[in-house]
Structure 1
């Protein structure tokens, strides 16, 4: 059994911190081959560090973010024939601290599970489910028959320009496409919908998530209480050398863990409520029924929900006219995947509209758009 890993590194300053070395060290214990991809710049010292862990080292522009890097390597560097020579493919990036359980233990626990692809964590919805793509494994026939290769070539390479594209095409789109083909997905852990970037304490302590997402340390996500609780847990159980994390957190986010200087300049940390991912109150069949009975459809929104909805249903919508946004700034001289983005004021009368927004923004749209048979909302709005 041969297992290939693709590890994507990005740092705006091009610095390789110790937490990255730890991830790669853990990865190498379960891989036969590793390709390290640098998105954007890297300093000389960092390049020397990464080259210690693999002779397959690839630098590229940060085009397409992590999704673009995965696709670039799979399609252009490997090619379909070479990819088919492996039994498993591991995609991993540097957006987390950990793992708090060794990858060896994780792979051992997943060895006998009959999954065609699996990840460390995922989001379960009636609609728009996905595996979180900081870590995902693809197996067997997915690599042999060209299905995975062709998806990245046709739907990811050159098509991801921003995070909403990556969500729609790499996460939701890939999951949807593979499951529609009959491939079975799986998860090592499931955090019951809690956001690891907002409530890492719940994810790790209650649901055994073996990583800590770096985005927790962004100003809008961070709280002292959660940070202190989770650091104390990792240190007391000796699950992770937290000095690796502290080094990166201080340099990148300006937060000094375990000191009196934890606050962000100009902000006050407040208690973080428990936050779960949004789960729209509709199903695939609900939208399918709508698109089957309407023509000349627009999707209201240009973000993650809207693009993911468009990807899943484009081949079912008889006449897709484009995306709607509320203001001129977001629509001017813009398109998404070749489809126009227009202002709400420009929508022709009697158009059919799927409002693919979060709950709060959907309420705003409802206040002036109203309800009728031509409008489909993701939420049960009163």
Structure 2
């Protein structure tokens, strides 16, 4: 077994905190070779830490987010022929704390899983399903055939410029393309649609997700009670050195987490159920609409809209572009070469797929109303 890892590091100030060192040290144990990519800058002390664990350190401009970094390494640094020399390719970034069990245990658990690629968790949303790409493993024929290389070269390199691109091309698009090509996906655990960035305690205690997303500590996600409950459990169980989390959280998010006395029991806290939203339509629903409408716009410029455009790019006979609301301030004039226009500029009687979340779809419904040539992602009755 010859296993290559590509780890992407990004920090606004170029600082390599201890949680990153712990993460790459654990990752290194299951790899034959590790390439560490710095998106942007790293300070001298941090560079020494990264070089300690990497077989090759690649420092690049922060172009294309982590997806662009992976594509740069796969296409320009490795190349197709070298990629075929590995049995497994591991992609991992620094957007989470952990792992809370060893990677060796995780890989042992997945060793007999009959799949071509797998991740730690996934989202199930019909044609918008995907493996969450903070950690993913690709195997065997997927590397040998050149299919993975070709996808990164053709659909990610130079095409990912912002988060919505990464979602559509790197998560949904990659998953869709590979599964449509006959490759089978797998997953270490399924958190049933819960966010690790919103409900890390549910993901860990109930579904055994062995990581904690850093975005939990941004203002709109942070919950002090959940934080202490999970931190205390990790500390008292000698599962993870919580000071690694505390130091990074204080530096990045300005939250000073003081340890509280552990109560001696673990329980899930009562909290609102917050899950990934799941549009109330299927691939077949959209496919049927597309087959009946030749000249078509997609309302939206975010995750759902771009994913829909990618997945149905070979089905839409004449894709006219993306629509944004008149109130939306956007400097975008095009997405992937397709025009972005204001709602007031849409020609009368145009066919439109409204690829927005529920709340924004309700707003659009009040403007466009219902018609046979307008398709909504949600049941808005």
Q: Normalising by structure 2, what TM-score?
A: 0.96
Residue in 2 that maps onto 1:132? 132
Residue in 1 that maps onto 2:144? 144
Are residue 58 (structure 1) and residue 85 (structure 2) matched? no
1:28–1:333 CA distance, 2 compared to 1 (3 A): closer
Residue in 1 that maps onto 2:25? 25
1:256–1:272 CA distance, 2 compared to 1 (3 A): farther
Q: CA deviation at 1:127?
A: 2.6
Measured on the aligned residues, the alpha-carbon RMSD in Å equals: 1.2
Provide the rounded CA distance (Å) in 2 between the counterparts of 1:44 and 1:206: 41
1:333–1:180 CA distance, 2 compared to 1 (3 A): closer
Give the match's secondary structure for 2:127. Answer: coil
Provide the rounded CA distance (Å) in 2 between the counterparts of 1:128 and 1:333: 24
| Deviation per residue, 1:258-297 (Å, 9 max, x gap) | 259xxxxxxxxxx962210000000011100100110110
Residue in 1 that maps onto 2:343? 344
Give yes or no for contact 1:331–1:343 (8 Å, CA) kept in 2.
no
Provide the rounded CA distance (Å) in 2 between the counterparts of 1:328 and 1:81: 49
Provide the rounded CA distance (Å) in 1 between the counterparts of 2:242 and 2:308: 39
Q: CA deviation at 1:329?
A: 5.3
Residue in 2 that maps onto 1:266? none
What residue ranges of structure 1 are gaps of 5+ in the alignment?
261-270
Residue in 2 that maps onto 1:286? 285
Give yes or no for contact 2:232–2:259 (8 Å, CA) kept in 1.
no
Give the match's secondary structure for 2:128. Answer: coil
Q: CA deviation at 1:314?
A: 1.0
Residue in 2 that maps onto 1:310? 309
Residue in 1 that maps onto 2:263? none
Provide the rounded CA distance (Å) in 1 between the counterparts of 2:42 and 2:272: 37
Residue in 2 that maps onto 1:169? 169
Give yes or no for contact 1:118–1:185 (8 Å, CA) kept in 2.
yes
Give the match's secondary structure for 1:367. Answer: helix
Q: CA deviation at 1:256?
A: 1.2
- In the TM superposition, 1:7-86 aligns within 5 A as 7-86=7-86
- In the TM superposition, 1:206-285 aligns within 5 A as 206-258=206-258, 273-285=272-284
Give the match's secondary structure for 1:127. Answer: helix
Provide the rounded CA distance (Å) in 1 between the counterparts of 2:227 and 2:313: 42
Q: Normalising by structure 1, what TM-score?
A: 0.96
Residue in 1 that maps onto 2:365? 366
Give yes or no for contact 1:127–1:280 (8 Å, CA) kept in 2.
no
Provide the rounded CA distance (Å) in 2 between the counterparts of 1:272 and 1:41: 39
Give yes or no for contact 1:198–1:222 (8 Å, CA) kept in 2.
yes
Provide the rounded CA distance (Å) in 2 between the counterparts of 1:235 and 1:294: 58
Give the match's secondary structure for 2:126. Answer: coil
Residue in 2 that maps onto 1:187? 187
Give the match's secondary structure for 1:320. Answer: strand
Give yes or no for contact 1:331–1:342 (8 Å, CA) kept in 2.
no
Give the match's secondary structure for 1:7. Answer: strand
Provide the rounded CA distance (Å) in 1 between the counterparts of 2:191 and 2:344: 41
Provide the rounded CA distance (Å) in 2 between the counterparts of 1:86 and 1:246: 37
Q: CA deviation at 1:36?
A: 0.3
State the number of aligned residues. 372
Give yes or no for contact 2:326–2:343 (8 Å, CA) kept in 1.
yes
Deviates more, 1:251-260 or 1:343-352: 251-260
| Dislocated runs of 4+, deviation >4 Å | none
Q: CA deviation at 1:233?
A: 1.4
| Deviation per residue, 1:183-233 (Å, 9 max, x gap) | 000110100000111111111111010000000000110010110111111
Provide the rounded CA distance (Å) in 2 between the counterparts of 1:231 and 1:127: 36
Deviates more, 1:273-282 or 1:144-153: 273-282
Provide the rounded CA distance (Å) in 2 between the counterparts of 1:146 and 1:23: 29
Q: CA deviation at 1:330?
A: 3.8
Give yes or no for contact 2:228–2:259 (8 Å, CA) kept in 1.
no
Provide the rounded CA distance (Å) in 1 between the counterparts of 2:362 and 2:245: 40
Provide the rounded CA distance (Å) in 1 between the counterparts of 2:195 and 2:279: 16
